[in-house]
Each structure stands twice: as C-alpha cells, then as structure tokens.
C-alpha cells in the first residue's frame, strides 16, 4: 500500500499561497481547552475575527459555490487548506454548517440569503440542537414541541449534549409540530435566533469535557424560521446527520488521532528493509 500523498503543481502552488496568508493572519499562541469546553470571551473574539478573514476569501467552506459564500474550489484544494490550518493547531472554526445542504434543498431563497451566506462568511455561529436528555439517535422520540399559533410557533423543551465552543447566533432545532400525527411525520426543523426571549443556555461540566444544554421555554419563533414543510423534519434532520456521519469525502480529525496513526504506519513502512 502506498502511503505517500502526491499533490499536483496547482495544489502545491495553492499550499504556498495559503501558507503565507496563514502565517500573516492566523492568531498565534492561542490556548484552547483540550476537552472541548467553551472558549473564553477573549479567545472567541480573536478567533471570530480570524473567521471573518477566512470567510471573506471563501475559505470557511472552500469547496462550496462562491455564490453562497464558499471558495468555489475542488475538494482536493479543500484538503490542502485543512492540512495547512492544522499546522496552526487550531480547532474547527466553531460553526456547525452541516445544515447548509439541507437548507439548499428545502429552504426558501430568502432563508438561503439570510442564513447560509452569513454563516459561510464567518459572521454567524450555529449550533445543532437535535439531541435531548431522553432522545438520541432515534428522532421519533423527540419531546420538544413546536405549537403553531398566528405567525409562528411556540417552542418548549430541552436539548442536551450539544457541542458549542463559541456562543451561538442560531440553533438549528428539531421539534414536534403536531403530536396527533404519526411518529416521523410530526416533526419540523427550525432555524432559531439564539437570543430570543425564553432561551437559556447552560454549560454542564462533566468528568471529561462539558456539554451545553439549551432550554426553550415557550419561545415564539416566526413562521419564516421553519425549514421546509412543517411535517418533514424527520427527513430534513436525517439529511443533516448524514453529512455529520461521513458525508464529506475527507476530513481531518479535530484532535489529530487519525493523522498520528497515518504517520505511524508510514514510518513503520519506511523502516522496513
């Protein structure tokens, strides 16, 4: 098995260009809690400023179309960029964008403009809030409710084990829109402004790392924050989970485990007579 990675001259030229850019712009000597805990306000501010610079170049989403705020590159360039970012020992840039493909399919043009482009330009942070204290991989067990009323929905429930190193602007959330309908045909996905009244976020310290909990207490969410039809949340949420569970062609691990196994195997091979 050949463990060498070969790059084309174009990819190498791209590496030199972004490497120089990162040397100039990437924040130096930042300290991130190794257990995935939230970043302090000062570190968040520094990283957010850097995110804006990356977003301006389309490098927060290098292989996504330029029209929506991406870099318009092929995935191989995406990999080169990720490898160079790794040199600076930075965690992922903080935003969960796995909802973007779902919104490209089910969102309105207005929603795409309002949510996708600011996210890819580094202006907003979104958390994925699907999981609940008593509901995990089986979305049919979601308890959070979204009760329809004039102009929107009232959301009530608790989301648990949420990852969030940065304070969020939006919460992409799954909730039951009609408890009378059959399971799997009774859910909606909402893009919720995290600053709305009735939302409380707590950090729960655990033995290893921490989790964020989001409490929705009768939160009014306007109609135009529902993504797709009100009863199609099951399908929409699973399309987001599909991206999370390996939809991307290549991904560097956040803690470098895969890269160190790769290096170990490569070294073992080169040491063989």
Interface contacts to ligand FAD, rule CB under 6 A: 128-131, 136-138, 161-163
Rank residues 84 and 132 by Cβ distance to ligand FAD and give the closer one: 132
CB of 179 to ligand FAD, least distance (A): 19
DSSP labels for 73-109? --HHHHHHHHHHHHHTT----S---TTHHHHHHHS-H
Rank residues 131 and 144 by Cβ distance to ligand FAD and give the closer one: 131
214 neighbors 129 (Cβ within 8 angstroms)? yes
Which long-range contacts does 264-268 make (Cβ < 8 Å, 24+ apart)?
265/3, 266/3, 266/4
158 neighbors 132 (Cβ within 8 angstroms)? yes
Distance CA 147, CA 79 (A): 43
Q: How many residues does the chain have?
A: 273
Rank residues 115 and 130 by Cβ distance to ligand FAD and give the closer one: 130
* CA distance between the termini of the chain: 15
CB of 64 to ligand FAD, least distance (A): 21
Distance CA 213, CA 204 (A): 7
Closest residue to ligand FAD, judged by C-beta, is 136
CB of 18 to ligand FAD, least distance (A): 28
257 phi and psi angles, rounded to 5 deg: -60, -50
Q: Both tokens of residue 91?
A: 């965690």
201 neighbors 209 (Cβ within 8 angstroms)? no
Rank residues 2 and 138 by Cβ distance to ligand FAD and give the closer one: 138
CB of 168 to ligand FAD, least distance (A): 10
CB of 268 to ligand FAD, least distance (A): 30
CB of 36 to ligand FAD, least distance (A): 7
Rank residues 124 and 129 by Cβ distance to ligand FAD and give the closer one: 129
Rank residues 131 and 177 by Cβ distance to ligand FAD and give the closer one: 131
């Amino acid at each position: 098995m050949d463990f060498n990675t070969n790059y084309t001259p174009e990819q190498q030229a791209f590496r030199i260009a972004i490497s120089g850019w990162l040397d100039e712009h990437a924040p130096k000597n930042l300290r991130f809690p190794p257990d995935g805990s939230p970043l302090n306000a000062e570190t968040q501010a520094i990283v957010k400023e850097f995110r804006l610079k990356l977003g301006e170049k389309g490098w927060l989403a290098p292989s996504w179309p330029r029209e929506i705020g991406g870099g318009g590159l092929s995935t191989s360039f995406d990999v080169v960029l990720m490898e160079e970012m790794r040199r600076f020992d930075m965690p992922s840039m903080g935003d969960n964008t796995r909802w973007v493909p779902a919104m490209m399919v089910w969102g309105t043009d207005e929603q795409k403009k309002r949510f996708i482009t600011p996210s890819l330009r580094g202006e907003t942070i979104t958390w994925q809030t699907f999981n609940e204290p008593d509901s995990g991989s089986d979305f049919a067990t979601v308890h959070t409710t979204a009760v329809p009323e004039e102009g929107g929905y009232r959301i009530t429930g608790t989301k648990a084990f949420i990852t969030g190193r940065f304070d969020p602007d939006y919460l992409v959330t799954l909730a039951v829109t009609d408890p009378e309908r059959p399971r799997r045909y009774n859910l909606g996905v909402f893009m919720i402004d995290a600053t709305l009244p009735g939302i409380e976020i707590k950090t729960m310290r655990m033995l290893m790392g921490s989790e964020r909990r989001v409490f929705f207490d009768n939160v009014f969410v306007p109609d135009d924050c529902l993504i797709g039809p009100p009863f199609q949340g099951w399908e929409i949420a699973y399309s987001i989970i599909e991206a999370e569970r390996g939809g991307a062609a290549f991904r560097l691990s956040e803690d470098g485990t895969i890269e160190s196994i790769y290096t170990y195997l490569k070294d073992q091979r080169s040491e063989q007579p």
